[in-house]
Amino acid sequence: MTSSTTPTTPSHMQAARISRFGAARDVFEVAHDAPVPTPGKGEVLVRQHATSVNPIDCRRRGGYGQKLMKLRGLSGFPLTLGNDVAGDVVATGPEVTTLKVGDAVFGAQRPSPQGTTAEYCVVNADDLVAKPAGLSYREAAALPYAFLSAWAALKAAGLRADEAAGKRVFLQGGSGGTGVVTVQICKALGAYVATTAGPAGIDLCKGLGADEVINYRTQDFADELRDFDFAICLADQAEERKMLSILRRGPGAGYATIVHPLMPLVDEKGLLVGGVQAAATLIGRRLRQALRRRRYGWTLFGPDRAALELLARLAAEGKVRAVIDQTYPLADIAAAHEYVERGRSKGKVVVDIT
């Protein structure tokens, strides 16, 4: 199949870019003359209507993950951050069969120096699905990266969508960007969900359907909970021991975390020393949990079409809704980053690119 494009696609666009690492106010520029990228084989060009800011964007703006990005050929300036995609397909590259020009789509772009905080972005067609009609672009932008990140951990811990009903799932940090969508998906799949939140996030988590919400500022969840099948760290790895203490022993139980020392170790000590130290730590902890016949994992965001389709289906059925804390225009990208960096978001921070 050959490529196709809309005749109105311009050659230049607005894009939030950085040309060095540093504080949001110091390094962001919203360029008006950034080149519109061209989709390659299997890729599409999306006219973005919204994206979101994830904590990883703030960290990458500060230089986090550079050694791994360099290794993968993904470093260099100018750098446009962002992963969440919510927009319309305006061009398709060769061999794209699943999407066509005019399709409204959402999904998450793989790490790239030409990210999604721009009017146009190139995305692998397999990483996008049709945006449910009942979901606005802003709402759609609030869901994929956060959910796919948390879902990777749930999978590593051993949860399967078709076996989730009746499972007891503990999600640490239910009020954050990853927590708000994951609480809802686990509930929609029939799991029993307990979560932790600060005082300002308690009612939010209850409203999302969580069966138990524990105020982490005043109560110790390890005193309240026991016999969970899965425990997932979405906020603070310092509580790992406590999360393991509420897990039942035996096959089918597991712990996984999206907050772990892999990237910090590689950044600090280099690929070889940092990588080996991270691997040794991970293997040791895995073995300790294997003795209790439990899974243990550290996970990173990655594309997962089946999970994205699950998210789209549950959103279309009204079982998952976007929780948006703040929305900023593209011109205020530095303020959006500063807000996310404070770590107090209740749900997601969205960037409007209409």
Ligand X SMILES: NC(=O)c1ccc[n+]([C@@H]2O[C@H](COP(=O)([O-])OP(=O)(O)OC[C@H]3O[C@@H](n4cnc5c(N)ncnc54)[C@H](OP(=O)(O)O)[C@@H]3O)[C@@H](O)[C@H]2O)c1
Residues that bind ligand X in the complex, under the rule CB under 6 A: 54-56, 146, 149, 172-173, 175-179, 196-198, 200-201, 216, 234-236, 258-259, 299-301, 340, 343-346
Quote helix, strand, coil % in the chain, to nearest 5: 35, 25, 35
Residue 111, phi then psi, degrees to nearest 5: -50, 135
> Of 120 and 228, which CB lies nearer to ligand X in the complex structure?
228
Distance of alpha carbon 85 from alpha carbon 122, whole angstroms: 10
How far apart are CB 2 and ligand X at their closest, in Å? 35
What tokens were used for 197? 């939140």
What tokens were used for 5? 């494009």
How far apart are CB 54 and ligand X at their closest, in Å? 5
How far apart are CB 267 and ligand X at their closest, in Å? 14
What tokens were used for 244? 């393991």
How far apart are CB 301 and ligand X at their closest, in Å? 4
> Of 13 and 323, which CB lies nearer to ligand X in the complex structure?
323
Answer for the pair 17, 320: CB distance below 8 angstroms, yes or no: no
Which residue number places its CB atom closest to ligand X?
198
> Of 88 and 341, which CB lies nearer to ligand X in the complex structure?
341
> Of 14 and 124, which CB lies nearer to ligand X in the complex structure?
124
Alpha helices for 20-133 (secondary structure H): 24-27, 55-61, 66-71
Answer for the pair 315, 292: CB distance below 8 angstroms, yes or no: no
Read out DSSP for 30-51?
EEEEEEPP---TTEEEEEEEEE
How far apart are CB 36 and ligand X at their closest, in Å? 28
> Of 206 and 292, which CB lies nearer to ligand X in the complex structure?
206
